[in-house]
Protein backbone atom coordinates (compact mmCIF):
# COMPACT_ATOMS: atom_id res chain seq x y z
CA UNK A 1 0.00 0.00 0.00
CA UNK A 2 1.37 3.42 -0.87
CA UNK A 3 2.30 5.61 2.07
CA UNK A 4 -0.22 8.35 2.75
CA UNK A 5 0.98 11.90 2.37
CA UNK A 6 1.04 14.40 5.21
CA UNK A 7 -2.11 16.42 5.64
CA UNK A 8 -0.36 19.70 4.75
CA UNK A 9 1.04 18.21 1.51
CA UNK A 10 4.73 18.77 2.27
CA UNK A 11 7.41 16.19 1.63
CA UNK A 12 8.55 14.16 4.65
CA UNK A 13 12.06 15.58 4.70
CA UNK A 14 10.82 19.15 4.37
CA UNK A 15 8.71 18.71 7.50
CA UNK A 16 11.85 18.10 9.57
CA UNK A 17 14.08 20.55 7.74
CA UNK A 18 16.16 22.60 10.15
CA UNK A 19 16.02 20.07 12.97
CA UNK A 20 19.56 19.13 13.90
CA UNK A 21 20.72 16.36 16.23
CA UNK A 22 23.78 17.39 18.19
CA UNK A 23 26.80 15.13 18.43
CA UNK A 24 26.29 12.68 21.30
CA UNK A 25 25.83 8.98 21.95
CA UNK A 26 22.96 7.04 20.41
CA UNK A 27 20.90 7.38 23.61
CA UNK A 28 21.35 11.16 23.59
CA UNK A 29 20.45 11.36 19.92
CA UNK A 30 17.41 9.16 20.52
CA UNK A 31 16.14 11.61 23.15
CA UNK A 32 16.66 14.56 20.81
CA UNK A 33 14.74 12.75 18.07
CA UNK A 34 11.97 11.92 20.53
CA UNK A 35 11.67 15.59 21.52
CA UNK A 36 11.67 16.71 17.88
CA UNK A 37 8.95 14.22 16.94
CA UNK A 38 6.91 15.08 20.05
CA UNK A 39 6.97 18.74 19.00
CA UNK A 40 6.00 17.74 15.45
CA UNK A 41 3.09 15.65 16.77
CA UNK A 42 1.86 18.46 19.03
CA UNK A 43 1.74 20.91 16.11
CA UNK A 44 0.14 18.47 13.63
CA UNK A 45 -3.40 17.32 13.08
CA UNK A 46 -4.40 13.86 14.29
CA UNK A 47 -3.77 11.14 11.69
CA UNK A 48 -0.82 13.01 10.18
CA UNK A 49 1.70 10.45 8.96
CA UNK A 50 5.15 10.60 10.53
CA UNK A 51 8.18 10.25 8.27
CA UNK A 52 9.32 6.65 7.93
CA UNK A 53 12.05 5.19 10.12
CA UNK A 54 14.34 5.11 7.08
CA UNK A 55 13.75 8.80 6.28
CA UNK A 56 14.28 9.82 9.91
CA UNK A 57 17.44 7.73 10.22
CA UNK A 58 18.87 9.36 7.09
CA UNK A 59 17.77 12.83 8.15
CA UNK A 60 19.37 12.60 11.59
CA UNK A 61 22.28 10.37 10.72
CA UNK A 62 21.45 7.63 13.22
CA UNK A 63 20.63 3.93 13.18
CA UNK A 64 17.03 2.92 12.49
CA UNK A 65 16.92 1.23 15.91
CA UNK A 66 17.52 4.65 17.51
CA UNK A 67 14.58 6.09 15.58
CA UNK A 68 12.44 3.08 16.44
CA UNK A 69 13.14 3.59 20.14
CA UNK A 70 12.09 7.23 19.94
CA UNK A 71 8.83 6.31 18.22
CA UNK A 72 8.26 3.52 20.78
CA UNK A 73 8.45 6.16 23.50
CA UNK A 74 5.94 8.39 21.72
CA UNK A 75 3.60 5.44 21.23
CA UNK A 76 3.78 4.59 24.94
CA UNK A 77 2.91 8.21 25.75
CA UNK A 78 -0.12 8.07 23.44
CA UNK A 79 1.27 10.67 21.02
CA UNK A 80 1.42 8.34 18.03
CA UNK A 81 -0.13 5.06 16.94
CA UNK A 82 1.34 2.46 14.61
CA UNK A 83 -0.63 0.77 11.85
CA UNK A 84 1.01 -2.35 10.35
CA UNK A 85 2.07 -1.79 6.76
CA UNK A 86 1.20 1.92 6.87
CA UNK A 87 3.45 3.61 9.43
CA UNK A 88 3.10 5.77 12.52
CA UNK A 89 0.42 8.46 12.80
CA UNK A 90 -0.03 11.43 15.08
CA UNK A 91 -2.52 10.76 17.86
CA UNK A 92 -3.40 13.41 20.40
CA UNK A 93 -3.93 12.20 23.99
CA UNK A 94 -7.59 11.79 24.90
CA UNK A 95 -9.16 13.34 27.97
CA UNK A 96 -11.48 11.29 30.14
CA UNK A 97 -15.00 12.68 30.46
CA UNK A 98 -15.89 11.25 33.87
CA UNK A 99 -19.00 11.05 36.00
CA UNK A 100 -17.76 13.80 38.32
CA UNK A 101 -19.92 16.90 37.84
CA UNK A 102 -17.71 19.81 36.78
CA UNK A 103 -18.03 22.71 34.39
CA UNK A 104 -15.71 22.75 31.38
CA UNK A 105 -13.63 25.48 33.03
CA UNK A 106 -13.32 23.53 36.27
CA UNK A 107 -12.46 20.34 34.40
CA UNK A 108 -9.66 21.91 32.36
CA UNK A 109 -8.16 23.64 35.39
CA UNK A 110 -8.28 20.34 37.28
CA UNK A 111 -6.22 18.80 34.46
CA UNK A 112 -3.69 21.63 34.56
CA UNK A 113 -4.86 23.07 31.24
CA UNK A 114 -5.92 26.61 30.42
CA UNK A 115 -9.64 26.83 29.55
CA UNK A 116 -10.72 29.25 26.88
CA UNK A 117 -13.41 29.99 24.31
CA UNK A 118 -14.02 31.44 20.88
CA UNK A 119 -16.93 31.98 18.47
CA UNK A 120 -19.06 33.22 21.36
CA UNK A 121 -22.68 34.20 20.81
CA UNK A 122 -25.60 34.85 23.15
CA UNK A 123 -29.18 35.85 22.46
CA UNK A 124 -32.67 35.93 23.87
CA UNK A 125 -35.24 33.69 22.18
CA UNK A 126 -38.56 31.96 22.95
CA UNK A 127 -38.20 28.51 24.47
CA UNK A 128 -39.04 25.60 22.23
CA UNK A 129 -41.32 22.93 23.62
CA UNK A 130 -38.32 20.70 24.42
CA UNK A 131 -36.27 23.42 26.11
CA UNK A 132 -39.30 24.65 28.06
CA UNK A 133 -40.03 21.15 29.35
CA UNK A 134 -36.42 20.69 30.46
CA UNK A 135 -36.32 24.02 32.29
CA UNK A 136 -39.82 23.73 33.77
CA UNK A 137 -41.04 26.69 31.73
CA UNK A 138 -43.96 27.33 29.39
CA UNK A 139 -43.29 27.06 25.67
CA UNK A 140 -42.45 30.52 24.35
CA UNK A 141 -41.03 31.82 27.63
CA UNK A 142 -37.82 33.81 27.04
CA UNK A 143 -34.58 31.85 27.46
CA UNK A 144 -30.96 32.88 27.09
CA UNK A 145 -29.10 30.79 24.52
CA UNK A 146 -25.31 30.75 24.80
CA UNK A 147 -23.05 29.08 22.26
CA UNK A 148 -19.26 28.93 22.03
CA UNK A 149 -16.35 26.71 21.11
CA UNK A 150 -14.49 25.64 24.25
CA UNK A 151 -10.72 25.31 24.09
CA UNK A 152 -8.00 23.76 26.25
CA UNK A 153 -4.54 25.30 25.93
CA UNK A 154 -5.85 26.90 22.75
CA UNK A 155 -7.04 23.65 21.14
CA UNK A 156 -10.77 23.41 20.26
CA UNK A 157 -12.32 20.60 22.29
CA UNK A 158 -16.09 21.06 22.27
CA UNK A 159 -18.94 23.06 20.76
CA UNK A 160 -21.07 24.05 23.72
CA UNK A 161 -24.69 25.25 23.53
CA UNK A 162 -26.86 25.89 26.58
CA UNK A 163 -30.17 27.53 27.54
CA UNK A 164 -31.07 29.30 30.77
CA UNK A 165 -34.34 30.88 31.97
CA UNK A 166 -34.24 34.63 31.38
CA UNK A 167 -36.59 35.37 34.27
CA UNK A 168 -34.10 33.86 36.70
CA UNK A 169 -30.99 35.49 35.19
CA UNK A 170 -32.37 38.73 33.68
CA UNK A 171 -29.09 40.54 32.96
CA UNK A 172 -26.93 37.52 32.10
CA UNK A 173 -26.72 38.60 28.45
CA UNK A 174 -25.03 41.84 29.52
CA UNK A 175 -22.74 40.17 32.05
CA UNK A 176 -21.57 37.05 30.20
CA UNK A 177 -18.43 37.38 28.09
CA UNK A 178 -16.58 34.88 25.91
CA UNK A 179 -14.13 33.49 28.43
CA UNK A 180 -16.29 33.64 31.56
CA UNK A 181 -17.04 30.43 33.43
CA UNK A 182 -20.83 30.26 33.34
CA UNK A 183 -21.06 28.37 36.62
CA UNK A 184 -18.71 30.78 38.40
CA UNK A 185 -20.79 33.72 37.13
CA UNK A 186 -24.06 32.13 38.27
CA UNK A 187 -22.58 31.57 41.73
CA UNK A 188 -20.96 34.98 42.19
CA UNK A 189 -23.74 37.15 40.73
CA UNK A 190 -26.95 35.21 41.36
CA UNK A 191 -26.00 32.93 44.24
CA UNK A 192 -26.97 29.88 42.17
CA UNK A 193 -24.69 26.84 42.28
CA UNK A 194 -25.36 23.98 39.86
CA UNK A 195 -25.03 20.91 42.06
CA UNK A 196 -25.86 17.91 39.88
CA UNK A 197 -27.02 17.06 36.40
CA UNK A 198 -28.75 14.48 34.26
CA UNK A 199 -26.68 13.64 31.19
CA UNK A 200 -27.24 11.55 28.10
CA UNK A 201 -24.42 10.62 25.73
CA UNK A 202 -24.84 9.67 22.07
CA UNK A 203 -22.42 9.13 19.22
CA UNK A 204 -22.79 11.53 16.29
CA UNK A 205 -20.76 12.80 13.36
CA UNK A 206 -19.69 16.40 12.91
CA UNK A 207 -21.30 18.45 10.18
CA UNK A 208 -19.03 20.41 7.87
CA UNK A 209 -19.81 23.65 9.72
CA UNK A 210 -19.23 22.19 13.19
CA UNK A 211 -16.03 20.43 12.08
CA UNK A 212 -14.65 23.72 10.77
CA UNK A 213 -15.32 25.40 14.09
CA UNK A 214 -13.57 22.56 15.93
CA UNK A 215 -10.57 22.46 13.56
CA UNK A 216 -11.21 18.89 12.47
CA UNK A 217 -12.69 17.04 9.50
CA UNK A 218 -16.39 16.76 8.49
CA UNK A 219 -17.90 13.42 9.42
CA UNK A 220 -15.49 12.81 12.29
CA UNK A 221 -17.16 11.08 15.27
CA UNK A 222 -18.12 13.11 18.31
CA UNK A 223 -19.86 12.67 21.63
CA UNK A 224 -23.19 14.52 21.72
CA UNK A 225 -23.84 15.18 25.40
CA UNK A 226 -27.10 16.66 26.66
CA UNK A 227 -27.08 18.06 30.17
CA UNK A 228 -29.83 19.30 32.46
CA UNK A 229 -28.25 20.88 35.54
CA UNK A 230 -30.00 21.52 38.87
CA UNK A 231 -29.19 23.76 41.81
CA UNK A 232 -28.97 22.71 45.46
CA UNK A 233 -32.79 22.91 45.72
CA UNK A 234 -33.33 20.65 42.71
CA UNK A 235 -34.49 23.49 40.45
CA UNK A 236 -33.44 23.40 36.78
CA UNK A 237 -30.64 25.85 36.01
CA UNK A 238 -29.62 25.09 32.43
CA UNK A 239 -30.31 22.69 29.60
CA UNK A 240 -27.95 22.26 26.68
CA UNK A 241 -26.17 20.06 24.19
CA UNK A 242 -22.43 19.94 23.59
CA UNK A 243 -20.41 18.21 20.89
CA UNK A 244 -17.10 16.83 22.16
CA UNK A 245 -14.43 15.78 19.67
CA UNK A 246 -14.23 11.99 19.54
CA UNK A 247 -10.49 12.11 18.90
CA UNK A 248 -9.89 14.07 22.11
CA UNK A 249 -12.26 12.41 24.59
CA UNK A 250 -13.19 9.05 26.03
CA UNK A 251 -16.20 8.51 28.28
CA UNK A 252 -15.62 6.91 31.67
CA UNK A 253 -18.45 5.20 33.57
CA UNK A 254 -18.46 3.23 36.80
CA UNK A 255 -20.82 0.27 36.71
CA UNK A 256 -21.77 -2.47 39.12
CA UNK A 257 -24.23 -5.26 39.55
CA UNK A 258 -27.72 -4.40 40.75
CA UNK A 259 -28.42 -5.28 44.36
CA UNK A 260 -30.27 -8.56 44.81
CA UNK A 261 -33.97 -7.97 45.26
Give how far Cα 67 sits from Cα of 13, 23, 54, 59, 77, Å: 15, 15, 9, 11, 16
Q: Provide the CATH number for the domain around residue 136.
A: 3.40.1410.10
If asked whether residues 42 and 60 sit together in one domain, one would say yes
Total domains, the chain: 2
Q: Would you say residue 22 lies in a domain?
A: yes
Q: Does pTM surpass 0.85? A: no
Is 86 in the same domain as 155?
no
Domain edge (last residue) among 67, 90, 113: 90
Per-residue pLDDT of the chain (261 residues; tens, 9 = 90+): 333 444 433 444 444 545 555 555 566 788 888 888 888 887 777 788 888 888 888 888 889 999 999 999 888 877 888 888 888 988 776 666 656 677 888 888 887 888 999 999 999 999 999 999 999 999 999 999 999 999 988 889 999 999 999 999 999 999 999 999 999 999 999 999 999 999 899 999 999 999 999 998 899 999 999 999 999 999 999 999 999 998 887 776 666 676 665
DSSP 3-state assignment of 21? coil
Domain residues for the domain of 111 are: 95-251
Decide if 259 is inside a domain. Answer: no
Q: Give exposure, 159-193, as e/b (b: 16+ Cβ within 10 Å).
A: bbebbbbbebbeebeeebeeebbbbebbeeebebe
CA distance 58 to 175: 57
119 and 79 inside one domain: no
Same domain, 85 and 101: no
Q: Output the domain CATH number for residue 50.
A: 1.10.10.10
User: In this structure, are 80 and 100 located in the same domain?
Assistant: no
Does residue 111 share a domain with residue 64? no
Q: Are residues 32 and 78 in the same domain?
A: yes
Half-sphere CA count of 231, side-chain side, radius 13 A = 15
Amino acid sequence: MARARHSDGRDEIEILAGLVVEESGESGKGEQIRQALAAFAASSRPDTLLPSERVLAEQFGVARMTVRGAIDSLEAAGLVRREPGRGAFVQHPRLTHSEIFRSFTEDMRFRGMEPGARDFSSLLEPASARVAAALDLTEGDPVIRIERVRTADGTPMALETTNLPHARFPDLLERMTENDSLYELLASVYGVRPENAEQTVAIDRLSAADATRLDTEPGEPCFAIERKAHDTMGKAVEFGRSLYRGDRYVIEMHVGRAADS
